[in-house]
Amino acid sequence: MLSAALALVAGLILAPALPASAADPLPVRVEITSISPVVLRPGEDLTVRATLHNDGTSVLKNAAADLRINYFRMGSRDEVAAWADRADSELAGQVTVVQALDDPLEPGASADVTLTLPAARIQFTNLPGVWGPRGLAVEATEGGARVGLARSYALWYPEQSVTPVPVSVLLPVAGPAANPLATTPSTELDQLTSPTGRLGRSLAAIQVDDAIGFAADPALVEQARAGGPASQAWAQAMTTASSRHATFTLPWSDPDVAAVARADEGSLFQVAVDHARTSDVLGAGRRTMVWAAPGQNLDAETAAAAASADVVAAVTRTPAVGANSAVTHARMSTEGGSLDRLGPDGTLSALLSDPTTVVPDATDATTAQRALAELALVARESESTPDPVLLAPGRDQVPDPAAVRVVMTALRSAPWVQVDPVSTLLVGTATQVDVPAQGEAADDEIAPAEVAALATARGHAVDFSAITPDPTTLLTGVDAETLAPLSLAWRADPTGRTALAGNVVKEVSARTVGLSIAPISDLNVLSAEAPMRVTVRNDLEVPATVQLVMTPRKACLQVDPIDPVTVESTSSATVAVHLQATANCDVTVTATLESPAGDVVAAPREFTARVAPTIESVGTYAVGALLVIGLILGIVRTVRRGQSARRGARTEAETGPAPPLPVLGGVPDEEQGT
């Protein structure tokens, strides 16, 4: 019965906050400046210091301050938030200590108070398992009526030990939209890297504690190295920080992986990842992670593209304050492979950038107490193996170095918190989760056609560079130019991004211009073989080895194999070509230049060849053929005649000599003697 009654009272005290009254705010602003000790143990006095600010128009003649305590332990993070969100007119616990002001509090004036609750009067139960946050408030009164109130937490800890919550802190460092084709220097980066600029504040926040990790775009650091004095100093400090902190790189130029994936140009994203890994501005070989844009969900296409590029993790967007956070460290199996996913805690991450979004009228003291109250409940949810927690402000949240220092100091003071670097979080156990659903393109996302045009231009430039043994000269800056329009920062200026993408395509394509074939006049081929010469021009700053390819459109003309030719920079070379004519025709011939890999590297030339081999040329072959035939026939006749003479000699030997012929018009010799 007693426990049921206590639960009922606790429910009344910690009921959800009612809507604030429409009446004017209380005239006194109460600022809690110190709660000591931060973690209250048995036998210790509780001392709370506060400042009362009279923001009203009336003099407070009987002003006083009291310390109120709610003795019921909070059981969930929702109850922690509900206590802070209560209206000033709602319950605030029991009065334990009262201190009257010595003098009236004039309008615009302030007064400091110190409220100490002796250990003997602290009514927290000194038993195992009852540790955790309790509600605390400092109330300003005038004649006993409430005129101001500020809420916070007392953190009761009678335990000997608990299993601490692993807490890691990770900050993003990404630059503004960059234009690598700009001809005039920009002062924006110097402003951002100054101590009061966004990047300067991020660096100062990183330097608060060596356990704070960061993921930075190496292209940004390289750009800062070439900037003004402020930018150069910032870049040097970032390089130094990379040797002391858990450091990760974002892909080069921080590209929009979701847009690249939707354009099916994963190879372009791989280029960004490879450049980040090989860059030495933050130390070569750094592991690369991707970080979602504000409002961007990690969908199936994005996860697959990131996994294909072998990034170490994908950091999801930071939830809003009070929103349920995803599992801190999860792992999913995508079409591109396995991918680790890191999910920040929205409420705790906001304390690093703007504590007032979590704690109204936040002070260092109330910020620290809120952070530890939240984590105490995380530790109690699973006391044997608490889930890890990641504090990582979103891209649109600028970390406040002072707030980061307050939170980190508080984390190191609490026995239920263990501060770990992000690298430790990544090697810990990951919860297997399903692949997210397919997402839709954001309105400010770069169009797939623009991504494809950039990828095509870069691919052509890479293929073209095969003509020279020194491709670096031709490709210097190509990747940086191609990746720049893909930066997430350009989501803020889609029109400017489109213009930049178009200019980059033109500039990169211009790098593939410089080889040409001199005009070729129409040709008369009047013999079976005909030589010709073709001039190849190289206007590049590097030597080029190319293959001249001649392609007749009819079979009546053939071209003998042509050897590759090397043309020195800014010079010409003549290529000898041998033609073979086989029949009369008019044929169009196309001349092209190809790289050693077979890619076309120059505009083609066409000319017409009138092929008419002469009768003499053709007859030469015919006469030659007839002579050969005649020679063969002569040999045959000679052989046959030799055979006939031998046959006649054998006949005469057998029958005797033949009788002589009679004398024409006379008588035989034997008759003349008679």
Q: What is the DSSP letter of 362?
A: -
Average pLDDT along the chain: 89
> Which helix H or strand E contains 402, and what residues bound it?
helix 401-413
578: domain CATH number is 2.60.40.10
Do 549 and 406 lie in one domain? The reply is no
Same domain, 524 and 492: no
Q: The domain that contains 332 carries what CATH number?
A: 3.20.110.10
> What gap in Å lies between CA 499 and CA 485, rounded to an integer?
9
In a domain, 638, yes or no: no
| Segment holding 337, helix H or strand E | strand 337-342
* Res 651 pLDDT > 50: no
Number of CB atoms found within 10 A of residue 555's CB: 10
Where among 616, 646, 669 does a domain terminate? 616
Domain identity same for 123 and 253: no
In a domain, 669, yes or no: no
647 to 640, 642, 653, 656: CA distances (angstroms): 11, 9, 11, 15
Q: Of 494, 430, 465, 498, nearest to 597 (Cα)?
A: 465
Pairing of strands 289-291, 313-315: parallel
* pLDDT at residue 613 is higher than 80: no
Domain boundary among 432, 462, 487: 432
Pairwise CA distance, residues 302 & 298, whole Å: 6
Which structural domain, as residue segments, surrounds residue 288? 166-175+190-432
253 is a domain residue:
yes
Same structural domain, 348 and 456: no
How far apart, in whole angstroms, are the C-alpha atoms of residue 468 and residue 275?
Answer: 22
Whether 520 and 506 map to the same domain: the answer is no
Closest Cα to residue 583, out of 607, 550, 620, 557?
Answer: 557
Q: Are residues 588 and 504 in the same domain?
A: no
Instruction: Assess whether the previous peptide bond of 164 is cis (omega < 30° from 0).
Output: no
The answer to whether 255 and 488 are in contact (CB under 8 A) is: yes
Cα dihedral sign, 279-280-284-290? negative
AA letter at 473? T
CA distance 393 to 165: 19
Q: pLDDT tens across 395-443, in order?
A: 999 999 999 999 999 999 999 999 999 999 999 899 999 988 878 888 8
Q: With residue 516 as reference, give the H or E element that holds it.
A: strand 515-517
In whole angstroms, give the CA distance from residue 642 to residue 624.
28
The residue ranges of DSSP E strands in 118-233, in sequence order, are 132-142, 145-156, 165-173, 213-216
Residue 486 pLDDT class (50, 70, 90 cuts): very high
Instruction: Specify if 204 maps to a domain.
Output: yes
Residue-wise pLDDT for 259-273, tens only, equals 999 999 999 999 999
Question: Are 32 and 97 members of one domain?
Answer: yes
Average pLDDT (95-118) is 96
Percent of the chain with pLDDT over 90: 78
d(CA 257, CA 259): 5
**Does residue 217 fall inside a structural domain?**
yes
For residue 2, the model assigns a pLDDT of: 37
**CA proximity to 206, closest of 421, 427, 424, 425:** 421
**Across 120-140, average pLDDT:** 93
Asked if residue 621 has pLDDT above 60, the reply is no
- Whether 646 shows a pLDDT value over 90: the answer reads no
Q: Are residues 374 and 481 in the same domain?
A: no
Q: What is the rounded average pLDDT of the residues 552-558?
A: 93
- How far is the CA of 567 from the CAs of 68, 291, 470, 518, 535, in angstroms? 89, 47, 14, 14, 10
**Residue 665: predicted pLDDT:** 47
Q: Is residue 652 part of a domain?
A: no
In a domain, 38, yes or no: yes
**pLDDT tier for residue 500 given thresholds of 50, 70 and 90:** very high
Query: What is the reported pTM?
Result: 0.83
Question: Which residues sit opposite 116 in a β-bridge?
Answer: 47
207-242: buried (b, 16+ CB within 10 Å) or exposed (e) per residue? bbbebbbbbbbbbbbbbbeebbebbebbbebbbebb
- The token duo for 75 is 């059981």
- Half-sphere CA count of 418, side-chain side, radius 13 A: 15
420 occurs within a structural domain: yes
Give the single-character DSSP code of 453. H
Q: Tell me which of 487, 510, 533 is where a domain ends.
A: 510
**Structure-token pair, residue 65:** 């301050």
The more confidently predicted of residues 335 and 615 is 335
CA distance 184 to 404: 36
More confident residue, 664 or 367: 367
**Count: domains in the chain:** 4
Residues 148 and 216 in one domain: no
What's the rounded mean pLDDT across residues 452-479? 93
> Which amino acid appears at position 540 of this protein?
L
Confidence of residue 643 (pLDDT cuts 50, 70, 90): low
3-state secondary structure of 27: coil
With residue 585 as reference, give the H or E element that holds it. Answer: strand 585-594
Q: Same domain, yes or no, for 548 and 608?
A: yes
Q: Both 369 and 238 in a single domain?
A: yes
Same domain, yes or no: 391 and 474: no
Q: What number is the average pLDDT over the span 644-664?
A: 51
Q: What is the DSSP string of 189-200?
A: HHHHHSTTSHHH
